[in-house]
Structure 1
Amino acid sequence: MDLELKGRKAILAGANASIGRRVANILAQEGCDIALCGRTESKVDAVTQELSALGVKAIGEAVDVTDAEAFPAWVASAADQLGGCDIFISFVSVNPGVDTAEAWTTVLNGDILPLVRGIQAALPALERSDAGSIVTISSTGAVEEFMGPQPYNALKAAIMNYSAALAQKYAPQGLRVNTVTPGPIYTDDGPWAYIKKNMTEFHDSILQQIPMGRMGSGEELAKAIAFIASPACRYMTGANVVIDGGMTKRVQF
């Protein structure tokens, strides 16, 4: 199936590792030009080189996404350098794992506000696209109880609500907004690799909750995200797509 991504332009925040890196590679394999940012310059440079080797235009920069001026400026600049923006995705996330005032501020500043600012900065270019697409990333911690009260779960749920409202607002213009809600996804450079090595008992307890008996791979999730973001999926907007191997038990009406 042709995802109609050849020649399209994607801006990916936090795509220098883990899931974001896999999505960048899948999009590039389909011929999509990529602008990406991340915290670590060496990682950004490595991924940019990987993507360039696939024959697409790839630009990358180390950016502090919590900087209310620098990050939106980078998004706008990336759209100019690419010659437009058809897809915007933020993979930026942080999970302190505790329920304190400081943790709420950390998640708000390190996850939610970068997403909002990034979308706002990308909107002018997205609105000019004939297949504009925003994909937001939530978590199964937002749809079922997970490890008690904590800001990460609550604010990941807020992403679904915000995305649905954006979808309604921009649907008349043909700009789509969808949420992807992953369960545990294992990548060699992601958090579950660290947890498996250093928190084995917790890792194994989560594994036991997944009916498929394994975590998803970064490539599996990336392919789903690429499809949802692509012009091949033009009629989907306002959706929340749960990809978790059956971990969540609720009926998804």
Structure 2
Amino acid sequence: MDLQLTGRIALVTGGTKGIGRAVVEGLATEGAKVAFCARTEADVAKVEEELRGAGHDVTGTALDVADADALTAWVAASAQHYGGIDIVVANVSALSIGPGPEHWKPSFEVDLMHTVRTVDAALPHLEASGVGSIVAVSSVSGREVDFAAGAYGVMKAALVHYTSGLAFQLAGKVRANAVSPGNTYFEGGVWHSLDQNDPEFFAQALGLNPTGRMATPEEIAYGVIMLASPRASFITGTHLVVDGALTRGVQL
């Protein structure tokens, strides 16, 4: 099925590793032009070189999404470079897990406010697009209380509420949806690190999933790209859980 993404312009935050990298590559493979950002300059340059070498039209920028001015400037520069914005995928997380106050500020500024600021800056372009789409990457930790209860889980839950509100407020103009991944395994990621350094906890987490495995970034990216696509033209305000039946709550 043609996802109607050829020539569309997408912004992706956190686009060099894991889910974000898979989203950037997936959108580009479908023919979209993709501007992405991440914190580490070397990683940005590497991904940009690899994807351009594969014939994709991508542009990478190194920035800290907690820097509101830098983030807003990146959105504006990307819109100017490509001539608009059709899709925003807010993917960055501080991954600040724990109960202490030192986890609340980065979770608020990065997980939640970077999403709000990116959307605010991109919104005029999304409205002008005619097919504007916002996808926020949340987490199953926002759906149920688990080991990431506290700042991380709360902010991920807030992202779902935020996108639902956007969907209502922008209905008929711009679509907004949230995707909540389950545990996702990739080299250099959290679960890869735990597999190496805390195998007992990793085994416990793995054992919770009835599929017997964790997701790949590409499996999560499929949900993001599908919702971002104009093919999903009547899907807005949706919370898509992609977790291999890890969580057991019933969405009514």
TM-score (norm 2): 0.97
Cα separation, 2, equivalents of 1:170 and 1:65: 24
Cα separation, 2, equivalents of 1:225 and 1:190: 19
Cα separation, 2, equivalents of 1:229 and 1:182: 16
Cα separation, 1, equivalents of 2:79 and 2:39: 19
Cα shift readout 1:108-145 (whole Å, capped 9, x = no counterpart): 12221111111111111111112110000111111111
Cα separation, 2, equivalents of 1:246 and 1:33: 33
TM-superposed CA distance for 1:3, in Å, is 0.3
Helix, strand or coil: the match of 1:162?
helix
With over 3 angstroms needed to count, the CA separation of the structure-2 counterparts of 1:224 and 1:148, relative to structure 1, is: closer
Which amino acid is the alignment partner of residue 15 of structure 2? A
- Residue 39 (structure 2) aligns with: 39
Cα separation, 2, equivalents of 1:98 and 1:177: 29
- Residue 186 (structure 2) aligns with: 187
- Residue 13 (structure 2) aligns with: 13
Cα separation, 1, equivalents of 2:151 and 2:223: 27
Q: Which runs of 4+ in 1 moved over 3 A?
A: none
Aligned-residue sequence identity (percent) comes to 40
Cα shift readout 1:141-199 (whole Å, capped 9, x = no counterpart): 111110264110011101111110000011122x1000001100111232211111111
Helix, strand or coil: the match of 2:171?
helix
Cα separation, 2, equivalents of 1:28 and 1:95: 26
Cα separation, 1, equivalents of 2:106 and 2:221: 26
TM-score (norm 1): 0.96
RMSD value over aligned CA atoms? 1.1
- Residue 239 (structure 2) aligns with: 240
Which amino acid is the alignment partner of residue 153 of structure 1? G
Helix, strand or coil: the match of 2:145?
coil
Cα shift readout 1:211-238 (whole Å, capped 9, x = no counterpart): 1111011111112211111011111000
Helix, strand or coil: the match of 2:134?
strand
Judge conservation of contact 1:36–1:61 (CA < 8 Å) in 2. Answer: yes
Q: How many residues align?
A: 252
For structure 1, list consecutive stretches of 5 or more residues without a partner in the other structure: none
For structure 2, list consecutive stretches of 5 or more residues without a partner in the other structure: none
| 2:207 paired with 1:215 | no
Cα separation, 1, equivalents of 2:103 and 2:148: 14
Aligned 1:1-253 pairs, distance under 5 A: 1-147=1-147, 149-173=149-173, 175-253=174-252
Cα separation, 2, equivalents of 1:134 and 1:207: 31
Judge conservation of contact 1:142–1:153 (CA < 8 Å) in 2. Answer: yes
Judge conservation of contact 2:86–2:133 (CA < 8 Å) in 1. Answer: yes
